[in-house]
C-alpha cells in the first residue's frame, strides 16, 4: 500500500470547482463563535461539493484570519451568503424549496443512524448552532425536523466542526444514492 500523490487524486482546479455541479445541500451556521470552526465548515463544504454555506449573526466571514487558516483555500471556492440571523437564513432556504433540519438534541430529534432523506426534497439545509448554546429556539420553531448524533460519553456535545463532518457526510451519501 502507498499513499496517493496529490496529482493522482485528480482534484478540480478552483475555477473548475466553481463551475461544477453542486449537491443541493446547504449548511447554515447559527452564531458560531470560532473562526476555526467556520473554516472547517468551508473545508467540509468543499470536500463534498455542497451548494453553499449560510453564515449568520456573529459567525465570522471571510477573509477572517482563522477561517483562512483552517479552510486552506476553500473559502475562495465555496459559495456563501451572510444573513443577519439564522431565522432569516432558514426562511430563505425554505423559499428556495429546501427542507430544513436542525442538528440538535431535542425531545423530537431523529437519531442520525435512523434519518432518511426523502426523495421528493428539492434540497436540504442543515442548521448547526453556537458552540455553547446550540441552535437557537427561534430557529427550532422554523425547521422541518431535528437530527441528533447519539453520544455515549460524559460530554453532551461534539465540536461543531466534527458534527458538520459527520452529518454532511451522511446527507451527501444519501443524496448521491438517490
- pLDDT exceeds 90 at position 122: no
Question: Using one digit for the tens of pLDDT, what is the confidence trace for 6-18?
Answer: 889 999 999 999 9
- The CATH number corresponding to 20-177 among 3.30.565.10, 2.30.40.10, 3.30.360.10, 3.40.1280.10 equals 3.40.1280.10
Question: Using one digit for the tens of pLDDT, what is the confidence trace for 145-174?
Answer: 999 999 999 998 999 999 999 999 999 999
Distance between CA atoms of residues 57 and 146, nearest Å: 21
Calculate what percentage of the chain has a pLDDT beyond 90. 94
Distance between CA atoms of residues 59 and 2, nearest Å: 40
| Segments making up each domain of the chain, as ranges | 20-177
- Band the pLDDT of 178: cuts 50, 70, 90: confident
Least confident of 9-18, 20-29, 78-87: 9-18
What's the whole-number mean pLDDT along residues 108-133?
Answer: 94
- Band the pLDDT of 119: cuts 50, 70, 90: confident
- pLDDT exceeds 90 at position 92: yes
CA distances from 147 to 3, 17, 24, 68, 119 (A): 35, 29, 18, 29, 17
What's the whole-number mean pLDDT along residues 87-109?
Answer: 97
- pLDDT exceeds 90 at position 118: no
Amino acid at each position: 500500500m502507498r499513499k496517493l500523490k496529490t496529482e493522482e487524486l485528480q482534484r478540480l482546479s478552483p475555477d473548475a470547482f466553481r463551475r461544477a455541479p453542486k449537491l443541493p445541500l446547504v449548511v447554515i451556521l447559527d452564531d458560531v463563535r470560532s473562526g476555526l470552526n467556520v473554516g472547517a465548515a468551508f473545508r467540509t463544504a468543499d470536500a463534498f461539493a455542497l451548494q453553499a454555506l449560510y453564515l449568520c449573526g456573529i459567525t465570522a466571514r471571510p477573509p477572517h484570519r482563522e477561517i483562512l487558516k483552517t479552510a486552506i483555500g476553500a473559502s475562495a471556492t465555496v459559495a456563501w451568503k451572510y444573513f443577519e440571523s439564522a431565522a432569516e437564513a432558514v426562511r430563505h432556504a425554505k423559499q428556495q424549496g429546501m427542507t430544513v433540519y436542525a442538528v440538535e438534541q431535542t425531545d423530537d430529534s431523529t437519531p442520525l443512524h435512523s434519518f432518511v432523506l426523502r426523495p421528493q426534497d428539492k434540497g436540504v439545509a442543515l442548521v448547526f448552532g453556537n458552540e455553547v448554546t446550540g441552535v437557537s429556539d427561534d430557529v427550532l420553531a422554523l425547521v422541518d425536523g431535528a437530527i441528533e448524533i447519539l453520544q455515549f460519553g460524559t460530554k453532551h456535545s461534539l465540536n461543531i466542526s466534527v458534527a458538520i463532518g459527520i452529518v454532511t457526510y451522511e446527507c451527501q451519501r444519501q443524496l448521491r444514492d438517490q
